[in-house]
Structure 1
Amino acid sequence: MEVEYNTLLEKNTFEQIRQTDSMHPIPLKWVYTYKIEKSGYLIKFKARICVHGDLQPKTDGETYASTLALQVFRLLMALVALFDLETIQADAVKAFCNSPLDEDVYLNNPPGFNKNEFILCLLRGLYGLRKSPKLWFKLFSGTLSDIGLYSIPGQPCIFTEYQGIVIFFFVDDLVVAFPADKRSKALNYLKKLTQKYELRILGKLEWFVGVKITRYQSNKKFFLSQEANIEKICCEYSCDQSGRQVSTPLVSDNLQKYDGNATDKETKLYQQKIGSLINASSDTRPDISSRAISKPFSRVYD
């Protein structure tokens, strides 16, 4: 916790000031998260200071920030395979803290770091603040333009140039894809980015936004998997993982309408289970999609 607090101070994310009657600080909170390695397994725990964005005063300011759609990511992976492109992945360390704020925001000190009459004046974006994603997107996309790249129309998170190099990003995760003979130029783009931001270079693309990527370069194929997420869901709901295999996850014949009455508890549990699968069904497993979310019965559970 001290490391997190001191790191934010070193990055000039906020400064301590004396509170006046006109200042209405927003509470901060600690969010305890964990870091997952490229194979999807836990490697460490960490603490993060976040703004109680739900307690921010309502304003008319724009907060929307574009993100890369997973459907577009799948298309990019198909192009990488088709043209046999190389990839380098990186992430921006404390990305939001790079973006200067364009308004006055005051914060209480995080729990455990109270400073009597002092509060914090926020100078840069911080996790939980409503405008942080927008400010970071504007800053980072502007930097990509400044180093000689341009965004693809309709896809503001994909940048390219005239020699086949593509950079795409999802918030603070970015990937550079390039032909093998353009490696030096691709590395030069990365060097320019590291001069402005603290980037952690992760090597070849193997894990992106919760999706594990396995590449078979010899036959130009990618396999996308969310195995770690699915195993987590199975563990949460105590699913049988004995290795039963079926050709399709759902029965092949039509489900008959259920005329019985499921209890509210049964319906809620069933909808929770279906909800936990939405991410997987939209990203890598469209074959598990289903229309049934009400009146659950045993055959649907199976």
Structure 2
Amino acid sequence: MTTVRTLIFVAAAHQWSLFQLDVKNAFLNGHLAEEVYMRPPPGLSHPRGVVCRLCCALYGLKQSPRAWYERFHSVALQLGFRSSHHDCALFVRRTSIGLVLLLLYVDDMIITGFDSSTIEEVKHQLFQEFEMKDLGSLQYFLGIEVATSPTEYFLSQTKYIHDILSRVNLTNDKIIDTPIELHAKFSASDGIPLEDPTLYRELVGCLVYLTVTRPDISYAVYILSQFVSATRSTHWAALLRTLRYLRGTLLQCLLLSASSDLTLRAYVDADWAGDVSERKSTSGLCVFLRDSLISWKCKKKSVVARSAAEAEYRAMAHATSEIVWLR
């Protein structure tokens, strides 16, 4: 999703139009390289012991995603695109006028660039290869609402938050100012075990996706995610606090602006032995391009740091890797 945010920012910075395309039954377009057989579908008369050999991929087949990507990749190469070295789902085509960028996410595409005539040509050629729908200007992509102004894009997941709150009947509940209690420490032995942690796991999964546009809950989600396998009453209470915070900040969104020069700025910090059970450090990272936040991360380190300085240096090393990838 970092690629999606960065692509939208680049379009805003150059005042390019963003268009969205949708491929109908994308996996059915893949060609299988292996021999795959299946039982005949119900209702089809056939001799006993006879099976069907598949010529094309079907939904539910483990080879289908790769077969679809390889088919689309070959078509993109024929259209003059090259796959990015850093994200294989991003395709770049250079023309005499400028760049054309195409981002694929399963069956959804975003296409943008300076050369509007080439964009229309590419769209026409894709429609000849696949059965597709032209959804027009980008407004809603993978659950993310996109609003535009002449120099800014706003990314939000308001409807997605509404759906999450509806699942726990928090639509009219009280609100809280912070997503997690300050200096809170949780362990796997606190509180009473939940009889059925299914809802907790589902809600945490929803919150993980919500961090695509809500960096303010990243640390809270990082904490809550550690207890999906052994959930207790204290963890459920912390989850409800995060949901009440979202209820009070429902309309917050991510702003991608094109008002200053192209400069990468990164901020990173780390605690020391902050995890009460493993004594490992946690680092936080956020990267700005111009004035726009395009990447962030909250992560527990894989090793135990012997000092606060070592924890800080390890966090800086991970931040440097992120910057190199973004550049």
Aligned partner letter, 2:60: G
1:230 equivalent to 2:161? Answer: yes
Cα pair distance change 1:276/1:89, threshold 3 Å? closer
Is 1:270–1:296's contact at 8 Å kept on the other side of the alignment? no
Aligned partner letter, 1:196: E
Aligned partner letter, 1:84: Q
In terms of mean alpha carbon deviation, does 220-229 or 241-250 score higher?
241-250
1:178 equivalent to 2:113? Answer: yes
State how far apart, in whole Å, the 1-side matches of 2:72 and 2:160 are: 29
Counterpart of 1:287? 216
1:197 equivalent to 2:133? Answer: no
Q: What percent identity do the matched residue pairs reach?
A: 25
Within a 5 Å distance, the mapping from 1:44-193 to structure 2 comes to 70-111=1-42, 113-117=43-47, 119-162=51-94, 163-179=98-114, 182-193=115-126
After TM superposition, give the deviation of residue 299 of structure 1 in Å: 5.2
State how far apart, in whole Å, the 2-side matches of 1:257 and 1:200 are: 48
- Whose strand fraction is larger, Structure 1's or Structure 2's? 1
Counterpart of 2:272? none
Aligned partner letter, 1:140: F
Runs of 4+ deviating beyond 6 Å: none
Is 2:22–2:133's contact at 8 Å kept on the other side of the alignment? yes
Query: Which of the numbers 200, 203, 206 marks the counterpart of 2:139?
Result: 206
For residues 201-226 of structure 1, give each alpha carbon's deviation from its aligned partner in whole angstroms, at most 9, with x where no partner exists: 1101111122221222x2x2222222
State how far apart, in whole Å, the 2-side matches of 1:95 and 1:266 are: 36
Counterpart of 1:215? 148
**Structure 1: runs of 5+ lacking an equivalent:** 1-69
State how far apart, in whole Å, the 1-side matches of 2:186 and 2:20 are: 48
For residues 4-34 of structure 1, give each alpha carbon's deviation from its aligned partner in whole angstroms, at most 9, with x where no partner exists: xxxxxxxxxxxxxxxxxxxxxxxxxxxxxxx
**Structure 2: runs of 5+ lacking an equivalent:** 242-327
After TM superposition, give the deviation of residue 175 of structure 1 in Å: 1.4
Cα pair distance change 1:237/1:109, threshold 3 Å? farther
TM-score by length of 1: 0.67
SS at match of 2:15: coil
Cα pair distance change 1:119/1:276, threshold 3 Å? same
After TM superposition, give the deviation of residue 134 of structure 1 in Å: 0.6
Cα pair distance change 1:248/1:264, threshold 3 Å? closer
For residues 243-301 of structure 1, give each alpha carbon's deviation from its aligned partner in whole angstroms, at most 9, with x where no partner exists: 755443333x22255875312327665444323321112x1122223214354337523
Counterpart of 1:67? none
Is 2:40–2:46's contact at 8 Å kept on the other side of the alignment? no
SS at match of 2:88: strand
> Taking CA–CA contacts closer than 8 Å with sequence separation of 6 or more, which of the two structures ends up with the larger relative contact order?
1
Query: Which of the numbers 250, 254, 258 marks the counterpart of 2:180?
Result: 250
After TM superposition, give the deviation of residue 230 of structure 1 in Å: 2.2
SS at match of 2:195: helix
Is 1:205–1:213's contact at 8 Å kept on the other side of the alignment? yes
Cα pair distance change 1:81/1:123, threshold 3 Å? same
How many residue pairs match? The answer is 225
